[in-house]
């Protein structure tokens, strides 16, 4: 008669800390349209000696001016689409009020608290709908303008 017993083993496995490769930060070139005068005033072109050296110095000066005026963005991070264009001050106030009333309802579950929460929820939804409609109207106007073609490609790239 043989006994079959399972062996018990305790193991500790450590997770390896793999760091992502450092990527250079990107310049926010899309802000150049508003800040063009400030950026161009900072650029000082070097005297022409030879083509390669002049090109290198000019590109370094342009990049330095753009970094200082337009700022940079870190690359390699995941983008979380929070729809920041949606959060106007009015929408923010309505959503906070709705959340406050919901927590009030959770603390004291009465019919009045429920009704006030539902009313605040309706108001918040109306505010969000109005903000979305205003944003999409603005997007349609931008698409119909002369820069609309570039804007379409930016929209497609961001999706």
pTM score above 0.75: no
148 and 88 in a common domain: yes
Instruction: Name the burial class of residue 66, with classes exposed (0-12), middle (13-18) and buried (19+) by CB atoms within 10 angstroms of its CB.
Output: buried
pLDDT tens string for the chain (159 positions)?
567 788 788 888 888 777 767 777 888 888 888 888 888 888 888 788 888 888 888 888 888 888 888 888 877 766 666 677 788 899 999 999 999 999 999 999 999 999 999 999 999 999 999 999 998 898 888 888 877 778 777 777 766
Measured CA angle at 102 (ends 87, 130), to 5 deg:
30
* Residue at a domain's end among 75, 107, 137: 75
Q: Is the same domain home to 30 and 68?
A: yes
């Amino acid at each position: 008669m043989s006994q079959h017993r399972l062996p018990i083993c305790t193991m500790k496995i450590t997770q390896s800390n793999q760091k992502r490769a450092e990527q250079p930060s990107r310049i926010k070139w899309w802000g150049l349209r508003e800040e063009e005068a400030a950026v161009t005033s900072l650029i000082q072109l070097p005297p022409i000696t030879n083509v390669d050296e002049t090109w290198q110095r000019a590109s370094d000066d342009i990049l330095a001016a753009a970094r200082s005026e337009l700022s940079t963005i870190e690359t390699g991070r995941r983008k979380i689409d929070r729809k920041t264009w949606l959060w106007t001050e009015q929408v923010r106030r309505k959503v906070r009020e709705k959340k406050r009333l919901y927590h009030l309802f959770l603390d004291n579950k009465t019919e009045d608290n429920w009704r006030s929460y539902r009313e605040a929820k309706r108001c918040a939804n109306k505010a969000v709908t109005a903000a979305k409609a205003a944003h999409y109207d603005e997007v349609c106007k931008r698409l119909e303008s002369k820069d609309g073609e570039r804007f379409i490609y930016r929209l497609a790239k961001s999706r």
